[in-house]
């Protein structure tokens, strides 16, 4: 059985890439085709079956014995380093680009030179001249959750007080062109407008920030705002966002840049309506609003909350598509 080494990080921290790696490992490490391990860069440990390997000799041995390196790293220097190591050791190298933000075009093109396959989760926002389509597969990052964790007691208590729940999340506080990437400001403005016009009542908006980096930003946005019978509740620690989605009436993804968002497909998977900015191409079933337009977002929230139609998500096994790439590579 050929060995596959995933290179990246697993939760914590919680994020789209770490969750993808965690789910892929737990859902497919007993696939009957490959033996899958994870080298966690942050924790300096290898996860293999139910074991943690910290012995440096055993880690080096696994690097030599693995047939495929699959890199899930955003740092340009680090991903190039592991791709180069892979080629020096005569490994097949796969790289997944988890978003459409190509900060260093030279590094991106060099990854194509070093890799046997590049997986893009969404290529619509990437300059086509940078993409070698002969080496590219487009595979969304979504994998279904394999477990659901209980929500924090304080959040459960708040949810019980309100008739309708709206939820959104971010990875950390970050700006693009001076504006919050995850659009918390847009969502709060839209929610405030609906509250002022009394178009929504007894509704809870839950903002999830597992990094605890948006507290001051959100606090400033809420100053001197009266949300009537509605409320905004900020969660500053890690939680199982899928468990929150299942309790929500709608979810929102108001990002000003994006790749193939995990939380979007999680909402679709749970048959919960999801409203997203139109900054990139979105999956079928998403309700889209004009990017950076809080008025349009408020209209879409109101219409979606009052709509009876529900999109039925067609679940596709994207993990199997990745296993098929491994099959193709180890057979060549």
Task: Tell me the per-residue pLDDT of 53-102, one tens digit each, with 9 for 90 and over.
Answer: 999 999 999 999 999 999 999 999 999 999 999 999 999 999 999 887 78
What average pLDDT does this structure show over 108-124? 92
pLDDT at 332: 57
Q: What is the pLDDT of residue 37?
A: 96
pLDDT per position as a tens digit, 250-296: 999 999 988 888 899 999 999 999 999 999 889 889 999 999 999 99
294 in Cβ contact with 183 (< 8 Å): no
Q: Are residues 301 and 323 in the same domain?
A: no
Task: Using pLDDT thresholds of 50, 70 and 90, give the confidence band for residue 229.
Answer: very high
**Residues 24 and 72 placed together within one structural domain of the fold:** yes
Q: Is residue 62 part of a domain?
A: yes
Same domain as 32, residue 176: no
What is residue 309's predicted lDDT score, i.e. its pLDDT?
A: 73
The dihedral over CA atoms of 71, 74, 77, 83, expressed in degrees to the nearest 10, equals: 10
Say how far residue 166 (Cα) sits from the centre of its chain: 19
Residue 188 has pLDDT above 90, yes or no: yes
Q: Is 120 part of a structural domain of the chain? A: yes
CB distance 309 to 296 below 8 Å: no
Q: Does one domain contain both 139 and 217?
A: no
- For residue 282, give Cα distances in angstroms to 131, 149, 277, 286, 316: 20, 27, 9, 7, 16
Percent of the chain scored above 90 by pLDDT? 80
Count up the domains in the chain and report the number. 2
Same structural domain, 220 and 295? yes
On whether residue 310 sits in a domain, the answer given is no
- For residue 32, name the pLDDT band (cuts at 50, 70, 90): confident
Q: Are 275 and 281 in contact (CB under 8 A)?
A: no
Q: What is the pLDDT of residue 281?
A: 85
Which among 255, 262, 258, 211 has a CA at the least distance from the CA of 241? 262
Distance CA 248, CA 241 (A): 10
174 and 267 within one domain: yes
How high is the pLDDT of residue 99? 81
Would you put residue 84 in left (φ > 0), alpha (ψ -120 to 50) or beta? alpha
For residue 312, tell me if it sits in a domain: no
Say which residue, 191 or 141, is predicted with more confidence.
Answer: 191
Q: How far is CA 107 from the centre of its chain?
A: 22
| pLDDT value at residue 118 | 97
Q: What is the C-alpha to C-alpha distance for residues 149 and 293, in angstroms, rounded to an integer?
A: 34
Whether 14 and 116 map to the same domain: the answer is yes
**CA-based radius of gyration for the chain:** 21
Give the predicted TM-score (pTM) of the model. 0.81
What pLDDT sits at residue 122?
Answer: 82
The mean of the pLDDT values for the chain is 93
**Interstrand relation of 68-71 and 2-8 (parallel, antiparallel or unpaired):** parallel
Domain range for 126: 2-144+317-330
CATH of the domain at 189: 3.40.50.2000
pLDDT at 1 over 70: yes
The region of weakest confidence among 73-82, 187-196, 304-313, 323-332 is 304-313
Q: Please tell me whether residues 57 and 135 are part of one structural domain.
A: yes
Tell me, what's the pLDDT at 249? 96
pLDDT at position 157 over 70: yes
pLDDT given at position 206: 98
pLDDT surpasses 80 at 159: yes
| 300 and 325 within one domain | no
Q: Is the pLDDT of residue 311 over 80?
A: no
Percent pLDDT > 70 in the chain is 99
């Amino acid at each position: 059985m050929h060995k596959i080494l995933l290179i990246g990080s697993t939760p914590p921290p919680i994020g789209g890439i770490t969750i993808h790696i965690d789910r892929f490992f737990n859902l497919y490490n007993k696939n009957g085709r490959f033996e899958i391990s994870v080298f966690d860069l942050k924790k300096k440990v290898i996860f293999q079956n139910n074991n943690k390997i910290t012995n440096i000799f055993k880690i080096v041995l696994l690097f030599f014995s693995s047939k495929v390196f699959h890199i899930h790293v955003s740092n340009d220097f680090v991903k190039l380093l592991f791709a180069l190591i892979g080629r020096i050791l005569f490994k097949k190298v796969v790289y997944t680009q988890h978003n459409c933000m190509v900060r260093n075009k030279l590094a991106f093109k060099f990854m194509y030179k070093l890799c046997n396959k590049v997986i893009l989760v969404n290529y619509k926002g990437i300059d086509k001249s940078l993409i070698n389509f002969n080496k590219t597969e487009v595979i969304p990052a979504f994998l279904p959750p394999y477990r659901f964790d209980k929500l924090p007691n304080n959040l459960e208590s708040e949810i019980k007080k309100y008739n309708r729940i709206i939820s959104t999340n971010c990875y950390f506080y970050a700006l693009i062109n001076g504006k919050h990437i995850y659009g918390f400001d847009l969502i709060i403005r839209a929610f405030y407008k609906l509250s002022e016009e009394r178009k929504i009542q007894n509704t809870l908006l839950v903002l999830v920030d597992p990094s605890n980096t948006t507290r001051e930003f959100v606090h400033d946005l809420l100053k001197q705002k009266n949300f009537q019978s509605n409320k905004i509740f900020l969660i500053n620690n890690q939680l199982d966002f899928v468990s929150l989605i299942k309790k929500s009436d709608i979810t929102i993804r108001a990002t000003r840049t994006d790749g193939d968002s995990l939380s979007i497909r999680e909402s679709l998977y749970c048959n919960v309506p999801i409203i997203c900015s139109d900054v990139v191409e979105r999956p079928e079933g998403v309700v889209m609003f004009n990017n950076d337009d809080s008025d349009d977002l408020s209209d879409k929230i109101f219409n979606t909350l009052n709509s009876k139609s529900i999109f039925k998500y067609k679940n596709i096994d994207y993990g199997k598509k990745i296993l098929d790439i491994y099959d193709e590579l180890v057979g060549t």
